[in-house]
Every structure is written in structure tokens, then in C-alpha cells.
Structure 1
Amino acid sequence: MTAGISHQKITQLRATEAQTYSAARPKSKAALARGIAHFLDGVPMHWMRDWPMPFPFVVHAAKGAAITDIDGHTLDDFCLGDTGSMFGHSPAPVAKAIRTQANRGLTYMLPSEDALELGNMLSTLFGLPEWQIATTATDANRFALRVARAVTNRDKILVFNGCYHGAVDETMVRIRNGKPINRPGLAGEFRDLTERTRIVEFNDLAALESALSHEDVACVITEPVLTNSCMVLPDPGFHDGLRALTRKYGTLLLIDETHTISSGLGGYTRVHGLLPDLFVLGKPVAGGVPASVWGMTHEVAARWQQDCDGREPGYSGMGTTLSANPLQFAAMRATLSQIMTADNYAHMERGAARLQSGIAAAIEKHALPWHVTRVGARVEFICAPGPLHNGAEAELAHAPDLEAAIQVALINRGTLIAPFHNMMLVSPATTNRQIDRLIANFSDIAQRLAA
């Protein structure tokens, strides 16, 4: 049994749905069977092989909260590029900004007129006064950690078990049998990452204090909610304790909002009044154009300037040539001013609450030992009892074969969710009809599994 479902039922559902999927997509199947010419393993980026269907479908177009493949199937899209298109595919203001900027040049390593407005927007929306632009959240996290190490003159960082911060090497650690280890599956990693990274369980303030008490940790980097696992919410008082302990031991606090920007206007940080020293946001900040931002307090900025003044001239090791380009500025300005609005968040919140309620009702109706959780517009069903409290519990709650079967079955019924951890996003373009279809499709699949 897995999550209350027999292995036989899971195997049968996955086989049946895989066959249905393959039969419905002859064009995508033929294209992927040939491989996309000269791409390693037949795909432009290896994550495209991580979808649970027999082969990924080839996209023809996406607009709003719908995505269409080359075989003519249009799906209600609740994956939304795994948050990259959280506000819908190609929002009109962003598309217009891209067209306008394309006629003015795409990159020139100098600020544009949009950049003159963007800094004020970032400060007003997210609360920190000093900002930099990067291209991915991975880059932004990496650069912010460099600043933290420089200003504290400490070499270690601390992460929580089950965390995800992009491809930042030193965050790729886990707890296994009570001991810190390199995250399993890393390619080409020749270092013991645990030498410079401490790791404790999320929501464990006693363990956190013990780890920080050595006074050698430059920065705690964390999402406000563990998301790239089965989602784990903070216990009451956890964030207050985290902030108090980092200050007590002279450690900076970096909040990574790349997924939890779903929480509401200004992200989880603003909604819940968090006070980070450093802040990172990637993915949806430019409406789907690759861009990220990282900000800091006046105090950290002053300490950083002091470090720069005392350092010999040379390359800082931070920044990439195409970061802070005018296309990013234009797309971010359009997103922050016209897309990332209180009205849009209110729509997303209502829709996500509707989705959460419907999925929870289906779970209860079919007497499944599962639960559903939500952070603003982000909803996940978890094939285990809940709530979860830390990364270890989240890892045990993951049911890959069952989740894969459900996800392919949803696709066959016209609904796409994220291939990672059953994540579903409600965008400003998502309709109640789409939400209700997802609930009905989920309930139908749950009934088949529970019968």
C-alpha cells in the first residue's frame, strides 16, 4: 500500500493513463521519438524529462491560464511554468512592454528609463531599500550569500532540511539518519558541502539555536514556507523565533520568496510582517521574462560598501553580462505596476480557497488519508496525513508513483498541474470554471483509486 492505495491500483491507473496519453498525442510522440535535433537526451533542458507522462507534449501556444499542444489539446494550466507564469501566460501589459522595448534594443549594460522607476517600485512593494537585478533566483541567492559572507566575515550558511534555492551549490544538503549529507543525485559535485553548510529541521528553534550558537554562520537562507517538497507551513511563532535567534548570534537572514510570492501582495514577507536582512525573488517578477531581484537593508548595504572600500580592486565574482538588461526592466515595470496588484491577488486568493475547499472535500468524500494545504494562490494536495512540520516528514509524505499516475490522469482530463509535488497555482486569468473542472477531475481519479 502507498498512501492508502494498493500498488496494483496505482500500477493499473498509471499504465491505462499512459496509454491514453500516448494515443492522443501522435505528433508530440513522433517529435520526441526523433529527439529534438542535437539536444542532449532529446530535450533542450534535462528537467523536461522529469514530467511523469511517457513523453512531454510539445507546446504550440499558451495564453492566460491555458496551454495548447501541437496535437490540438488545450489544457487548463495550473502549473504556469512552475510559478514563472504565476500571473498567467503573456499578460497583455508585459507583452506590450516587450514589443516596445524590442524596438529600442535588448541589452546594452546601462540603465534604461524603466530602471529609473523600478528601484522605487521594488522598495515600495517589498520593503527593503537597496536592490540589484539578476537573471535567475539562483544567481540572486548566490550573490546575496556572497554579500552576507563578506559583511559578517563568516564562511558558513545555514539551511533547513528539504529546502530549495535553485542551483546554489552550498544549499544542496540534506539530513539522512540524523546526519548532514550532500543531497542525493548531485551531478559532478566533488566537495563535501556540509563543511560550510549547517542544516537543521524547519520549525525546530532549539536545533536552530544550537547551530547558530557557534557564531560562525553568516546567513540563514530560507523560504518562509518549505515549497519544493511536500509543502510545510511554519509553526506559530517560528518566524519570530528565527528572526530573534539570527539577531542574537549576529547572523543575517535571507528570505527567498521565489515560490511564496503566491502569498499575497509583497509576498509572505509583507503579508506576515517579516523583517529579513536580505530578500530574493525570481521567476514571476518579470511576467515570464527571465529576471530576478535581490534586496537588502540600509545596514547591510553600508557594511557591504565598507567591505568594498577595504578590498583590493578586481572582479567581485558577482553579476552576469545579461543581467539588468532593458528587456528585464521593461517587463518588471509592467509586472509590478499592472499585474502584481492587490485586485489580482484578491482574485487569486478567492480562486485558490475555492480549489483548496474542493480538493479537501473530494479527499474526505473518498476517505483518503491525504490532506491539502495552501499558501495564498499556491495549493497542493499531499498523499499523506497532515499537516507536515519539517523536511523529513515532507520526504516521507512524497509518493512518486501515485503522484505520477494522478498527474497523467489529470492531463488526460484536460488539466495540467506541476510535475513536482502536486503544486497548483491560481492566476488572475484562472476562472471558476477551470477550478471546478480540476476539482471534478481530481474527484473522479480519487474515486477510481478508492474503489
Structure 2
Amino acid sequence: MQDPVDDVGRHGTVGLVAADHPALTDNILKLHRHKVPPRWYGAAMIDRERLSDLLARERAAFVATHPRSADAYAAAGSLFGRVPMTWMNKTAGGFPVYAAGARGARVTDVDGHGYVDFCLGDTAAMAGHSPAPVVEAVTARLAAGGGLATMLPTEDAAWVGAELARRFGVPRWSFALTATDANRWAIRLLRAVTGRPRILVNSYCYHGSVDESLIVVGPDGDSVSRPGNVGAPCDVTTTSRVAEYNDLAGLERELAHGDVAAVLMEPALTNIGIVLPSPGYLAGVRELTRRYGSYLVNDETHTFSAGPGGATAAWGLEPDVVTIGKAIGGGVPIGAYGLSAPLADLLSGRDDLDLVDMGGVGGTLAGNPLSVTAARATLEHVLTAPAFDGMTSVATAFANGVQEVIDRFGLPWSVAQLGARVEYRFCDPAPTSGGASAAAADGELEDFLHAYLLNRGVLLTPFHNMALMCPETTLADVATHHELFAAAVTELVG
């Protein structure tokens, strides 16, 4: 096959394979702009006509075998987008699977189909669905009349704060209902103590719907609003700065302006596909933030998969703030942020900051008894150190098996693992920045694999090829995925 990079250089197009496929052409041009090596272009070896036919077949099969989900979707006209939240429309089959129940690593739908679930609520169910200790603790509180919205502290909250402090190494904790809110409130606090207006993030990072995070490095290296940003209150380039992940020179260039209150980052990018740190990168980030007087916030909401103390503990990191959500509640909504002792003391000494009433760093339901009871049960009995050992071992088996299939078929694809989380990508080597990771996406190929697996009882995270293990995920579950993945690839490439 002709090398797409060589053909770009000669003709300003992407070569014989991609010439009739605009989406693929666009992706390869993006890859070329990111100066990635030619063996990255894993999508270019795919027969696009065959891929389109296979995807159409799988979607037709999904429609035929999910009539009750289809009816439920059709009847949901009272909902914006026909779903409780619009991102639920990201589905390879054409409409969502409607859930009937979920337990452990299994989900059942209203049509009676069962699934091995590697999505796990996009991390919210990393403890597994309906984990028994959480169900028992929450049920006991409700049965005893423990209250749901008392706006009063409980002893469970202090236990959870102490456990998070032990795991992540920052000693003062406060609660929210989502990691998005935890990030928002941390940002406000850090702007207050620094007097600086801007927040720096990595291109194609994920910090929920935080306004300041929806900024990327554009094609010419300039900062631009992330495509699709909805209703921004102002131009994001006025509130934020951005640098590519793994780019210390770019980070220093932005910090040198002297107006960055905090660097908000995931220790490893996750929601654009797993992008792991290069040797020395995270240490370099910490050194630069200290040199330029900016605080460092580790958002561990997804990187919690790295271990019981997330990447912060697993990799010996020293952030000023840790934010987290989703998984620590065992499925019950919760978020939290932890502060270093010097930062907490500095904030406590600021009489001009309203940290009690209308200062913008709290919510009526934050720290509610139900959330912290669920978090205590999850941390004490479910997502323990031995559980993480088991989850990571199963994830390693998942990664190894996927790599074996990739090698067997000679595909220029790659696999990345972050503790209990695994991602396979349509490029090789794996991306080292968010921009390169975004450029390597292939929506049609992704949809085919997702629909193929979905029709045969396996769920992946719908936004990318991420598989997460919970304490009840088994090696047999992994083997099921590998058998189907190999069968899909066989149909795709012969």
C-alpha cells in the first residue's frame, strides 16, 4: 500500500486508499499536521467499503433485536434528545440500549439481553454495579430514618475525608456532587489565593463541563475554543491557557505569562483515549508550576483506575489539590476535592473570602448523608488495595490479549493500560498528546467494533475503545471480549 505521508508530500492528498473517503482523508491530514510517523495510519489499511457494509449490517441486526429499546426511545418525546442526558445519544446502534438492571460486571436490558460491561458507567461504576456493601449501607441508613438532605455533617463524612487524605496525600477535603463541581470550586479557590485570572489545561483534556477546560491547541499552535463548545459565557481564551500533554516547553511558554492561577490536569489523559506520560514529564510539570507560582490540581476522576490512591499515589506525585468523583460513591453521585495543608491554611486565613454562604464554593446537597455513606462503604469494603490488585491483573490480561490479536493480524494499532483501564487505538505507536490522539480517531471503525460487540453481549465505553475492570470482572469476561474482537477483525481485514 502507498504510504499516505509520502502521497501528502507529493500531491497534497492522502493517497490511493483514502482518496474516495473524505472522513479518512481529513483524519490523515490531521495526523500529518501533527507530524506523526506513517505507521500511525492504522485506518488507512481498512477497506472502507467493506467497513461501511459491515457497520450497516450490525446496525440492522441491533434494530431487529432491540424492539423494546426502540419503542422506549420513540416514546421519550418529553426528553430533550429523547434521553435523560444528551450524551446518551452516543451509540453505535442508532439508539440507546435501555437498561433493566445491573449487578457486578453485568447489565441487562429491557429486551432481555445480558452484557459483559466494560463501560461501567464511564468509571462511575468502577466498584461494579450495585456493590453489596454500598447497597447494604445505603439501605440501612434509609431504613433507620437517617435522612437524605439534612444539611448537617455526619461522622461518615469525616471518615471518608480521612481515608481520601491517607490515599492521596493531601489532608483537607470537601465534598461536591460531581467532579465537575469539585473542579469548579477548586478553580475559584485558587484564583482567590493567587489573584490570577487564568487556568491552564491540556489540549483535549477532560474535566467534565468546566468552562475553562474547553480549549485546545489549534492547527497553527494557537489556543482556540474546543469544537462543539456549547454556550460558552465568554471566549475561553480569555479565561484559560492550554498546552499539549507531554510538552514541557509549551507548558513553560504559557506559564511564563505569569497569569496562571493553576494547572488543572489529569495525570494521564483518558477521555480522548489513554495518553500516558513520557519519562520525566510529570516531574517537569511539578517543577514548572512551582517555579512560576501556579498551583497544581490533579483530577483523578478517571485516573483513579491506576490504584487505590490513583496516579497521585501510584506515581509519587505531589499536587496541591486533588479532585475526584464518580467511582468513590459506588454509583451514588459524589465529588470531592482535597487541599494541601499550606493551601488550606492560607484559605482559612482569608477573612475576605466567603467560604460559608454565597462565595461560590458549595451546594446544598454537597456532603449529604447518602453520598458520604455510599463513599465510606465503597472505600472501606469495595475499592480496596487488594481489589485494585485484582482489577489491574485482569486489565493486564485484557491488554495482552488485545495486543495478541493486533499482532496476529499485523495491524498498525496499539494498546495502552492505566491500572484497571485499557484502551486500544487505531494507530501505532500510541499517541503522546491530546491533539495527536484526537487526530487518530476513526468514528466509523469505532462504531463497527462497538456495534459488533454490543450485538454479541459486550459493552465498551461509547466515546472510545475503553475497557474498565471492576472487582467482579473475570478472566472469562476478558476471554469473551477477545474472542469477539478477533472475530470482528477477521471480518474486517480478512
TM-score normalised over the length of structure 1: 0.97
Question: Could you say if the C-alpha distance between residues 9 and 250 of structure 1 is closer, same or farther in structure 2, counting changes exceeding 3 Å?
Answer: same
The residue aligned with 1:394 is 437
- Match status 1:375 vs 2:418: yes
The residue aligned with 1:143 is 185
Letter of the 1:331 counterpart: A
- Match status 1:278 vs 2:318: no
CA displacement at 1:10 relative to structure 2 = 1.5
- Match status 1:175 vs 2:217: yes
* Distance in 2, Cα, partners of 1:351 & 1:410: 19
The residue aligned with 1:118 is 160
- Match status 1:129 vs 2:184: no
CA displacement at 1:113 relative to structure 2 = 2.7
The residue aligned with 1:320 is 363
CA displacement at 1:343 relative to structure 2 = 1.0
CA displacement at 1:190 relative to structure 2 = 4.8
Letter of the 1:258 counterpart: T
* Distance in 1, Cα, partners of 2:393 & 2:266: 23
Percent identity over the alignment is: 42
Q: Deviations over 1:330-385 (max 9, x none)?
A: 00110111112111011101100000000011011111111111100000010111
* Distance in 2, Cα, partners of 1:190 & 1:282: 25
Kindly report which structure 2 residues correspond to 1:4-43, keeping only aligned pairs within 5 A, or say none.
4-34=45-75, 36-43=76-83
The residue aligned with 2:409 is 366
Which SS does the other structure have where 2:263 is aligned? strand
CA displacement at 1:15 relative to structure 2 = 0.2
Question: Could you say if the C-alpha distance between residues 153 and 269 of structure 1 is closer, same or farther in structure 2, counting changes exceeding 3 Å?
Answer: same
* Distance in 2, Cα, partners of 1:276 & 1:311: 23
Answer whether contact 2:92 2:450 (CA < 8 A) is retained. yes
- Correspondence for 2:109 among 69, 72, 80: 69
* Distance in 2, Cα, partners of 1:161 & 1:301: 29
Kindly report which structure 2 residues correspond to 1:10-409, keeping only aligned pairs within 5 A, or say none.
10-34=51-75, 36-103=76-143, 104-177=146-219, 178-307=221-350, 309-311=351-353, 315-409=358-452
CA displacement at 1:239 relative to structure 2 = 0.6
* Distance in 2, Cα, partners of 1:288 & 1:207: 38
The residue aligned with 2:33 is none
Which SS does the other structure have where 1:365 is aligned? helix
CA displacement at 1:39 relative to structure 2 = 1.1
CA displacement at 1:50 relative to structure 2 = 1.2
The residue aligned with 1:441 is 484
Question: Could you say if the C-alpha distance between residues 124 and 8 of structure 1 is closer, same or farther in structure 2, counting changes exceeding 3 Å?
Answer: same
Answer whether contact 1:230 1:397 (CA < 8 A) is retained. no
Answer whether contact 2:200 2:263 (CA < 8 A) is retained. yes
Which SS does the other structure have where 1:310 is aligned? coil
CA displacement at 1:116 relative to structure 2 = 3.4
Letter of the 1:94 counterpart: V
TM-score normalised over the length of structure 2: 0.89
* Distance in 2, Cα, partners of 1:115 & 1:172: 32
* Distance in 2, Cα, partners of 1:195 & 1:278: 23
* Distance in 1, Cα, partners of 2:353 & 2:69: 55
CA displacement at 1:37 relative to structure 2 = 4.9
* Distance in 2, Cα, partners of 1:287 & 1:448: 38
CA displacement at 1:314 relative to structure 2 = 6.0
Letter of the 2:54 counterpart: L
Which SS does the other structure have where 1:243 is aligned? helix
* Distance in 1, Cα, partners of 2:170 & 2:329: 19
Which SS does the other structure have where 2:274 is aligned? coil
* Distance in 2, Cα, partners of 1:304 & 1:367: 56
Answer whether contact 2:59 2:92 (CA < 8 A) is retained. no
* Distance in 1, Cα, partners of 2:404 & 2:182: 40
CA displacement at 1:216 relative to structure 2 = 1.2
Deviating more after overlay: 226-235 vs 108-117 = 108-117
Q: Deviations over 1:33-61 (max 9, x none)?
A: 22x25112211111111122111111110
* Distance in 2, Cα, partners of 1:208 & 1:187: 26
Which SS does the other structure have where 1:186 is aligned? coil
Letter of the 1:44 counterpart: P
Which SS does the other structure have where 2:481 is aligned? helix
CA displacement at 1:93 relative to structure 2 = 0.3
Which SS does the other structure have where 2:293 is aligned? coil
Q: Deviations over 1:208-263 (max 9, x none)?
A: 11111122110000000011102211000001100001001110000000000000
The residue aligned with 2:35 is none
Answer whether contact 1:85 1:288 (CA < 8 A) is retained. yes
Which structure 2 segments of 5+ residues have no match?
Answer: 1-17, 19-23, 25-42
Which SS does the other structure have where 1:132 is aligned? strand
Answer whether contact 1:232 1:390 (CA < 8 A) is retained. yes
* Distance in 2, Cα, partners of 1:69 & 1:122: 35
Q: Deviations over 1:256-307 (max 9, x none)?
A: 0000000011100001100000000111011010001100101111111122
Answer whether contact 1:203 1:389 (CA < 8 A) is retained. yes
Which SS does the other structure have where 1:358 is aligned? helix
Answer whether contact 2:353 2:359 (CA < 8 A) is retained. no
* Distance in 2, Cα, partners of 1:78 & 1:213: 42
CA displacement at 1:174 relative to structure 2 = 1.1
* Distance in 2, Cα, partners of 1:7 & 1:306: 62
